A and B are shown apart, each in its own frame.
Chain A
Amino acid sequence: MKILVPAKRVPDPNSTIKVKPDGSGIVTDGLKWVINPFDEIALEEALRIKEKLSGSEVVLVGIGAKTFSEQLRTGLAMGADRAILVLTEEPLDSLAVARILQKLVTDEKADLVLMGKQAIDADSNQAGQMLADMLGWPQATFASKVELAADQKSLQATREVDGGLEVLSMPLPAVVTADLRLNEPRYASLPGIMKARKKELKEIPLGDLGVDTAPRLKVLKMEAPPKRQGGRKVETVEALVQALHSEAKVI
Chain B
Amino acid sequence: MGDVLVFAEHVKGKLPKTTRAAIEAGRQAASRIGGACHAVVLGKGIEAVASEVAGYGVKKVFVVENDALEHYVADAYTEALAQVVKDKSIEVLVATSTAVGKDLLPRVAARLGVGMASEVVHFNEDGTLTRPMYAGNVIATVKLEGSPRVVSVRATAFDAAKKDGGGEVEKVAVSLDAAKIKAKFVAFNETKSDRPALTEASIVVSGGRGLKNGENFTTYLEPLCEALGAAMGASRAAVDAGFVPNDLQVGQTGKVVAPTLYIAVGISGAIQHLAGMKDSKTIVAINKDAEAPIFQVADYGLVADLFKVVPELTEEIKKLKH
Measured CB to CB, the residues of A under 8 A from B are 11, 13-14, 17, 19, 26, 38, 93-95, 98, 117-118, 120-134, 136-142, 144, 156, 159-171, 174, 179-181, 215-225, 228-238, 240-241, 243-245, 248, 250-251
Question: Which residues of B lie under 8 Å from residue A139 when comparing CB positions?
Answer: 74-75, 103, 107, 183
Question: Which residues of B lie under 8 Å from residue A251 when comparing CB positions?
Answer: 203, 228, 261, 317, 320
Measured CB to CB, the residues of B under 8 A from A are 11, 73-75, 78, 97-100, 102-107, 109-111, 114-119, 128, 132-146, 180, 182-191, 197, 199, 203, 228, 236, 239-240, 245-247, 252-253, 255, 260-261, 271-272, 278, 281-284, 295-303, 309, 312-313, 316-317, 320
Q: Which among B133, B142, B278 has the greatest number of chain A C-beta atoms within 10 A?
A: B133
B115–A217 contact, CB under 8 A? yes
A selection of 21 A-B contacts at a CB cut-off of 8 Å is A95-B116, A123-B118, A130-B110, A136-B180, A142-B102, A160-B246, A163-B188, A165-B189, A170-B182, A170-B183, A217-B144, A220-B141, A221-B140, A223-B138, A223-B139, A225-B136, A228-B297, A231-B298, A234-B302, A240-B313, A244-B284
Q: CA of A44 to CA of B316 in the docked complex: distance in angstroms?
A: 48
Question: Which residues of B lie under 8 Å from residue A128 when comparing CB positions?
Answer: 106
Nearest 10 CB-CB pairs, A to B? A216-B115, A129-B106, A126-B106, A231-B299, A130-B110, A161-B99, A133-B110, A138-B183, A138-B182, A167-B186
Question: Which residues of B lie under 8 Å from residue A215 when comparing CB positions?
Answer: 115, 145
B188–A166 contact, CB under 8 A? yes
A121–B281 contact, CB under 8 A? no
Nearest-CB residue, chain A, relative to B285 = A231
A118–B184 contact, CB under 8 A? no
The minimal Cβ–Cβ distance linking A86 to chain B, given in whole angstroms, is 19
Q: CA of A161 to CA of B73 in the docked complex: distance in angstroms?
A: 13
Known: A161-B99, A165-B246, A221-B141. A237 touches B312 (CB 8 A): yes
Known: A95-B109, A237-B309. A142 touches B99 (CB 8 A): yes
Q: CA of A218 to CA of B271 in the docked complex: distance in angstroms?
A: 25
